[in-house]
Amino acid sequence: MLCAGVTTYSPLRRNGCGPGKKVGVIGLGGLGHFAVMWAKALGADKVVAISRKVNKQADAISLGADAYIATDDDHDWIKNNTRSLDIILSTVSSSKVLLSISTHDKAD
């Protein structure tokens, strides 16, 4: 818990997570779970969990996320959420999220 905790707390704290901020957390594995909880505990106005599939939505909401984006299931997620977050913390090592962004960008 110490390693995952500080790995997610530190960048949120350094980048001003707190009241008045909208925070996005990409990935809901071990690090993402901590990031959602930290963002909420630090007082972010809105915490958005972002993952490829909808199957982690209930977990994200139970951890404190205010919203959830499933990038594989919502084809308009970029258009609907552009410039809506102040801080984005990526906890994934997969390039699939980034590939979906570049695929959507090229289509526009």
Residue 108 scores a pLDDT above 50: no
* Helix (H/G/I), strand (E/B), else coil: 84: coil
> Which ranges constitute the DSSP H helices of the chain?
2-14, 30-41, 57-63, 77-81, 96-107
Mean pLDDT within 23-41: 96
The structural domain count of the chain equals: 1
3-class state of residue 88 by DSSP: strand
Burial of 26 (0-12, 13-18, 19+ CB in 10 A): buried
Mean pLDDT of 61-75: 94
Q: What per-residue confidence (pLDDT) applies to 2? A: 81
Q: Can you give the residue range of the structural domain that contains 92?
A: 2-107
pTM: 0.85
Position with higher pLDDT, 98 vs 77: 77
pLDDT for 100: 47
Model confidence pLDDT, tens digit, residues 4-29: 889 999 999 999 999 999 999 999 99
Write the CA distances from 78 to 38, 39, 91, integer angstroms: 25, 22, 19
Mean pLDDT of the chain: 88
CATH of the domain at 86: 3.40.50.720
Four-residue CA torsion sign, 59, 94, 34, 13: negative
Give the Cα separation of 58 and 105 in Å (integer).
29
Q: pLDDT band for position 96 (50/70/90)? A: low
